Structure 1
Amino acid sequence: MNVIELINKYYTPGRQLDILLTHSRSVADKALQIAANHPELNLDKVFIEEAAMIHDIGIFLTNAHGIDCVGTEPYICHGYLGADLIRKEGYPLHALVCERHTGAGISASDIEKSGLPLPYRDMLPVSLEEQLICFADKFFSKTHLDREKSVEAARKSISKFGTEGLKRFDNWCDLFL
């Protein structure tokens, strides 16, 4: 997979693309560093880099003016919308990372309980690679590209998604840090 070629299929040069690439590179680098620190997990580093680089490809379809996204969908939809694009490109496993990385994953019951504008299904990271990319993503925002969040700051962000997500994040801290 040529991730830059794939991203350029959907993005034109400009701030939106710069934000996506900078954020995604930070997430990929953190995930790869964690993978290197845990050889016992036998993680697929090529897949991790590719999937981390495209995990947010769906943001252009959302309405998030702070990051120059002028689409029509709510931002929370970027994961499954990106997954739909990546499935059509022929990368079903990479698409799962797109779909399952939001928050610390979102369960079908959370979707229903919170009335989220998402398809009713579990969107929880399953494979270790999916979990790792989701975890690494929590340390980087798209509005403060120049800094990595601390574990406590990442926990605070995750707490907005409820206790289930926070438990998953804490388990990932134990596994990956």
Structure 2
Amino acid sequence: MKEKVLVVDVDRLGELVTRDGLLALPLEYIKKTVELYGCFVPREEAERDESGRQIIPYVILRNEKRYLLMRRTNRQGESRLHDKYSIGVGGHINPEDGRNPWQAFERGMRREIDEEVNVDISSLEYLGILNDLSTAVSRVHIGIVYIAGVVFHGFNEKDKFTGSMVEFEELEMHREKMETWSQIVMNWLK
């Protein structure tokens, strides 16, 4: 069976889809939009269709002043992101994640974290909506960005990611090799 992913039609997202960056929109706004208009479509279609946005959790992992910096290997699923650095954990939301679109988002966010990394989470704070129109990958996705206070124990998918917790200054040294979403979030972290 083909994978299905959570999508909201761009017509339902209003002016959000024309704005670029990490947008400080109320969580209730995006939650209500996902609840009312979220649906699941085959991923293969969603990756090529700019009339919809795949809803992706993007969680920044922080321990005091250190952030998780990871590099996506060529064994990671999205070939357009191979060898890119990232400061966000997350991925696609599937129908199996919940009974309704928002519940699927919340449970899928936790599933994605658990799949990728071994962490103890002490806090989870919503930051905003990430919209990036600069690349083909980003034009079919919208990130719902959180920052999590964590104790990092390592990667669960060691063949797909490498990396460690680093100070912000080290993040800056890798900025040019980062996926665009990470670059956008770093501007907020400064």
Q: TM-score, normalised by structure 1?
A: 0.33
Q: TM-score, normalised by structure 2?
A: 0.31
Greater relative CO (CA pairs within 8 A, separation 6+): 2
